[in-house]
Amino acid sequence: MSLSPSALPFDDIRNLIRQMPGPDEDAVAEVRARDAQLTKPAGSLGKLEELAEWLAGWSGRGRPKVSRPVVAIFAANHGVADKGVSAFPASVTRQMVENFAAGGAAINQICIAHDLGLKIFDLALDMPTPDITEEDAFDEANCAATMAFGMEAVAGGTDLLCIGEMGIANTTVASALLAGLFGGVPGDWVGPGTGVDAEGMARKRAAVEQAVARIEGTSDPLEVLRRVGGRELAAMAGAVLAARLQRTPVIVDGFVATAAVAVLHAMDPRALDHCLFAHLSAEPAHRMALEKLGKEPLLDLGMRLGEGTGAALAAGIVRAAAQVHDGMATFADAGVSGKGDN
């Protein structure tokens, strides 16, 4: 998938938003019809039945399967890290990317446990975006190009895309982005991130307030992303948009990933209908963000690691939902009496 030349780079993104397909209602109906014949009481599998319908609607398959799931982690660095907003130095971003490559991170173990593919996208780690308290993160061309790069996450084929991130100081950026999109008191969007202390929290809150004040009056969602976002957030937004256009269901990880896709929701409230939100992060403002999006998380495990871990755990449940629906016998297959049979 590529963006065609236009007068303004963001025009291409806006055109793609207008081209988004809706769900395949015939596939959903096929799932419901089969579910009614499976060897179980109606509704007895609860959320798993809803997940099977969701998969069908966005994959276009009446017997949905998850055979090529991929976790995509987007990694980037941020100039605002120099403001002391994180408990860790910016060098940790690259060190963790190397850890992912070596198979030593939590996400590697969850992917092994659930048989998930893993892709890591290094977004110019040696060139942090500018400090958003002082200047814009991107110009329009670079922001659009980063979104286009994120679209490559679906290249090569996948039937379930899980998005996650790695980037020291990116909860600061996510807080500024959400405050810019949804308003409210900027400090209310700020949490401890990787475990910053009270002094760090004060610096973080001040940074978010400064960034939001600097872009006061900016209302276009793509402009908010351009001015106070970061490379991994722009790339995740691009990946989710590309997945929609290719009818690929998406699982969104935690606080930072939710902030990234909130940009698409602000452009069109239907833009995230193909997305499942994996879990409720322990980052306090994640609940606020999900409420603004009108989304319910699948899990609540007190996690706040990022790196796609919550999305990968949720993918295991989604795979189970697909397998249960596809693999279960019907009453007729099993010779089991259905409700009302004599």
Reported as a single tens digit per residue, the pLDDT across 317-338 is 999 999 999 999 999 988 877 6
Q: Are 47 and 298 in contact (CB under 8 A)?
A: yes
- The CATH code of the domain that includes 39 is 1.10.1610.10
Is 177 a domain residue? yes
Q: What is the pLDDT of residue 195?
A: 87
Local mean pLDDT, 10-residue blocks, the chain (342 residues): 65 97 98 97 97 98 96 98 96 98 98 97 97 98 97 92 98 98 97 91 97 97 98 98 97 98 98 98 97 98 96 98 96 78 55
Q: Are residues 27 and 97 in the same domain?
A: no
Q: Are residues 132 and 144 in the same domain?
A: yes
Q: Are residues 29 and 138 in the same domain?
A: no
Q: Shortest CA distance to 36 belongs to which of 328, 342, 335?
A: 328
Q: Which helix or strand (DSSP H or E) is residue 5 part of?
A: none
Q: Are residues 38 and 133 in the same domain?
A: no
Q: Are 244 and 274 in contact (CB under 8 A)?
A: yes
Catalytic residues: 307
Across the chain, which distance is largest between two alpha carbons, in Å?
A: 75
Q: What is the pLDDT of residue 335?
A: 82
- pTM confidence score: 0.95
DSSP string, 157-207: --SEEEEEEE-TTHHHHHHHHHHHHH-S-GGGG---TTT--HHHHHHHHHH
- The CATH code of the domain that includes 312 is 3.40.50.10210
Q: Are residues 148 and 130 in the same domain?
A: yes
Q: Are residues 51 and 153 in the same domain?
A: no
Q: What is the pLDDT of residue 339?
A: 64
Q: Are 49 and 43 in contact (CB under 8 A)?
A: yes
Q: What is the pLDDT of residue 135?
A: 98
Domain that holds residue 42: 22-63+325-334
| Residue 53 CA from chain centroid, whole number | 20
Q: Are residues 216 and 106 in the same domain?
A: yes
Q: What is the pLDDT of residue 194?
A: 82
Is 90 a domain residue? yes
For the chain, counts of helices (H) and of strands (E) = 14, 5
Is 79 a domain residue? yes
Is beta strand 69-75 parallel, antiparallel or unpaired with respect to 117-122?
Answer: parallel
| Residue 207 CA from chain centroid, whole number | 24
